Amino acid sequence: MRLQLCCLLHAAAAARSGFLNREKYAAVDTERAVADAGGAAVKVGAPQHAQAVLHRTEPRAPSIIHDRKRHAWRLWDEGFHAESVDGVAWKPTRLDVKGYVFEDPGRRERKRRYKAFANGEALSSSDGLRFTRAKDGRAPSSIRSAFYDSRRRSYVAYAELGNATVRYESEAWQGPYASKLLHDAPAVVIPYYSIYIGIMDACRFAWSSDALEWTVLAGGIIEECHTPLNPLRDPATGELRVYAFDGQTNSSLTLYRFHADGFAGLRSPSSTIITSRVLPCKGRAPVVTAAITGSLRVAVHDERGDLVHGRSLEDALPMLLDAVDEEVQWKGVSDKIPDRCILKFEVKDATLYSFGWISRARDRRRKRVYRERRRVAKAEARGLFRLFVSLSLTTLSCLVVRVASLRFCAFFRRDRVKRIQSV
């Protein structure tokens, strides 16, 4: 019972951490999310911006996370730790740990939230700075990525071995770890909504439904990209971040920015219908993340395939701009969305990256942010109104003074003319 409770707490924490949200689906997931892509084709995303952030003489593979509690980006490398507000400018500090560090979201691991694999030993820390070794802890070496997998209820780590990848797995973070040799598999892996995504050399993306069998996506190769790190999501903008080195030696750690969830998606230049599988809608309107040049509309059908009244494509309000977790809207009166439903996306000159539902806690956060933005907007509107009134009154006062001065001058001018004429 205690173990089950701990697993549930882990799963709940994982569901809050962005990529681990099981209620969202990647558009390339043909196993759990998409039943029929129509005429849409898989399009691998390209970075929208690249920027060098650290200069190194040897491309070692550091670990980078976004710490939600500290509201900062954190980096661990061989012998030092660094923090950054924007993920670009870093402030380094010395650190004794030389290994791979990752964050454990589980509540039962609150005092050991940061885990590290260093020199074959398992370590833990509450702040990511002071690490202690686990008793009889044994961990794999040369780790490229690691995380707690809430689906398998185990800790997973990946390492490179020549041209192959070694996958390590254990129910306890301190081990022992069982290993499995994988071919044509990435060493940089993260859970990503309903699937797993990985990054190969040259920043080639791959995806998998079980993290064992991988599909490498064609295209999207960045020639200067070497030794990529885990993808990260910017909580402020939603954009996908990938840190990688731009050379084998004398290289720089470069930040590549992608569209939100934009490692790959389903794109169609003309009007195409993408049909989802039967999904647990739970009576909620879906959210969509997409790059839109033309338009995107969504219809809702029940699990039998019957159209829900008021939720058709014709009733849907079209999305005309890029969307990040944007909720679908319909006009007029609509029937309630069923607990299980099928979504149909009309994609016209757009790329669908992800869709699904966000947690109610996140809904509340979004509403709170919306209310705060409304307060700020109202305050700005009041300030602009007061500025307008002040400028108007100032202008009016200047006009009154100017007219009065002109009349005063004209009066004295006429009086002087009269005196001259009288003489």
- Given a contact cutoff of 8 angstroms between Cβ atoms, the answer to whether 190 and 231 are in contact is yes
Could you give the CA distance from residue 265 to residue 27 in angstroms, rounded to a whole number?
A: 6
Is residue 411 very low, low, confident or very high in pLDDT (cuts 50, 70, 90)? confident
Assigned token pair, 80? 């030092």
Do the domains 2-21+51-259 and 269-358 sit in the same CATH topology, yes or no?
A: no
3 state DSSP class of 139: coil
Residue type for position 80 = F
How far apart are the C-alpha atoms of 265 and 193, rounded to whole Å? 14
Q: What is the rounded distance in angstroms from the CA atom of residue 75 to the CA atom of residue 84?
A: 8
Look at the chain and count its residues. Answer: 423
Please report, as a single letter, which amino acid is at residue 222.
I
Q: Mean pLDDT across the stretch 310-333?
A: 92
Q: What is the mean pLDDT of residues 131-141?
A: 81
> Per residue in 148-193, pLDDT tens?
888 888 999 998 888 889 999 998 888 888 999 998 899 899 999 8
Residue 188 CA to residue 204 CA, distance in Å, equals 11
Which among 25-39, 96-110, 357-371 has the top mean pLDDT?
25-39
Backbone phi, psi, residue 417, to 5°: -65, -40
pLDDT confidence of residue 57? 52
**The pLDDT of residue 59:** 53
For domain 2-21+51-259, the CATH architecture is 5 Propeller (2.115)
Is residue 418 very low, low, confident or very high in pLDDT (cuts 50, 70, 90)?
low
| Least confident range of 55-69, 71-85, 261-275 | 55-69
* Mean pLDDT along residues 59-76: 83
3-state secondary structure of 381: helix
**pLDDT(4) > 50:** no
Question: What pLDDT, on the 0 to 100 scale, is given for residue 319?
Answer: 95
Q: What is the C-alpha to C-alpha distance for residues 404 and 420, in angstroms, rounded to an integer? A: 24
Domain boundaries, the chain: 2-21+51-259, 269-358, 366-423
Provide the 3-class DSSP secondary structure of residue 377. Answer: helix
Q: Look at residue 80 in the predicted model and tell me its pLDDT.
A: 82
Question: Is the model's pLDDT at 116 over the cut of 60?
Answer: yes
Residue 355 has pLDDT above 90, yes or no: yes
132: tokens are: 């202690």
Give mean pLDDT, residues 270-288. Answer: 93
pLDDT recorded at residue 230 = 85
More confident residue, 348 or 421: 348
Q: How far is CA 93 from CA 76, 89, 267, in A?
A: 10, 13, 44
**In this model, does residue 117 exceed pLDDT 90?**
no
Encode pLDDT of 8-66 as tens digits. Answer: 334 444 433 335 556 899 999 999 999 999 989 999 988 888 888 887 655 567 889 89
Q: Residue 307 pLDDT more than 70?
A: yes
pTM (two decimals)? 0.76
CATH of 269-358, one of 3.30.70, 2.60.120, 2.60.40, 3.30.750: 2.60.120
Contact 130, 94 (CB under 8 A): no
Round to whole Å and give the CA distance between 296 and 273: 10
Mean pLDDT value of segment 227-239: 85
For residue 6, the model assigns a pLDDT of 45
Task: With beta carbons less than 8 A apart as the criterion, state whether 17 and 24 touch.
Answer: no
Beta bridge partners of 199: 188, 205
Distance CA 385, CA 133 (A): 61
Quickly state the pLDDT bin for 300 (edges 50, 70, 90): very high
pLDDT score at 367: 53
Contact between residue 88 and residue 67 where contact means Cβ atoms under 8 Å apart: no
Q: For residue 156, what is the enclosing H or E element?
A: strand 154-161
Reported as a pLDDT band with limits 50, 70 and 90, residue 317 is: very high
Q: What is the mean pLDDT of the chain?
A: 83
pLDDT exceeds cutoff 80 at 274? yes
- Please state whether beta strands 287-302 and 323-327 pair in parallel, antiparallel, or not at all (unpaired): antiparallel
**At 373, is the pLDDT very low, low, confident or very high (cuts 50, 70, 90)?**
low
